[in-house]
């Protein structure tokens, strides 16, 4: 029995690339991807980083050393010049190359707008300076927009020194935390996976 359909009112096709005449469409139906909430996005990114960290076939110390190198460079080296330092350092110090790259992401296109002004302001206070936070923030915004050593040096000796002193302080705090934190995560994950081998397959990134 023929299907009862109203003329010129084809039924909707839910297959994204369907061009069948029976669906009554001449072009693929564009399906909208649902917007991901911030919490789910951050969780997904965390799981991606966690997977990169714990899946690497190396000792926990080797992996942690690479991530600590990346974190140190992300804190102490100006944005845009970190990878040329972190990758060779990982070869010399025998650390994870993946960690030395991904570990620098503490300072990225989003976080530097907050980290760099605070870093310089704290560094200025440590060297006995009297620059206001507003002046520091304005200068850092100009530096972020240009991203060059020439611009960094043009900020003046006090502000340039403040930048590196604040970065050194941040590196001194974050580098050991990263090393021991990554090492503990890798050891814990491998111990758990070793205990689950007899229990059957499990989440590959747990």
Extents of the domains making up the chain: 60-197
pLDDT of residue 160: 84
pTM, to two decimals: 0.68
pLDDT of residue 14: 47
pLDDT of residue 93: 92
* CA distances in angstroms from 35 to 30, 38, 110, listed in the order given: 15, 9, 20
Q: Which residues of the chain carry a pLDDT beneath 70?
A: 1-39, 41-43, 45-46, 50, 53, 147-149, 152-153, 197-206
pLDDT of residue 46: 63
In this structure, are residues 25 and 13 in contact, taking their beta carbons and an 8 Å threshold?
yes
pLDDT of residue 147: 67
């Amino acid at each position: 029995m023929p299907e009862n359909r109203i003329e010129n009112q084809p039924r909707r096709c839910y297959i994204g690339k369907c061009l069948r005449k029976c669906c009554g469409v001449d072009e693929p139906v564009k399906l909208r991807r649902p917007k991901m909430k911030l919490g789910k996005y951050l969780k997904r990114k965390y799981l991606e980083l966690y997977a990169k960290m714990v899946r690497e076939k190396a000792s926990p110390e080797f992996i942690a050393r690479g991530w600590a190198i990346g974190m140190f460079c992300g804190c102490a080296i100006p944005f845009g010049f970190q990878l040329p330092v972190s990758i060779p350092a990982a070869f010399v110090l025998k650390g994870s190359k993946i960690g030395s790259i991904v570990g620098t992401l503490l300072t990225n296109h989003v976080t530097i707008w907050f980290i760099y002004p605070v870093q310089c302001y704290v560094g200025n206070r440590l060297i006995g300076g009297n620059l206001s936070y507003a002046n520091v923030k304005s200068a850092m915004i100009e530096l972020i927009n240009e991203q060059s050593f020439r611009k960094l040096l043009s900020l003046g000796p006090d502000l340039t020194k403040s930048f590196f002193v604040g970065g050194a302080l941040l590196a001194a705090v974050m580098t050991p935390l990263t090393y021991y934190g990554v090492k503990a995560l890798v050891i814990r994950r491998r111990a758990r996976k070793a205990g689950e081998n007899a229990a059957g397959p499990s989440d590959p990134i747990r």
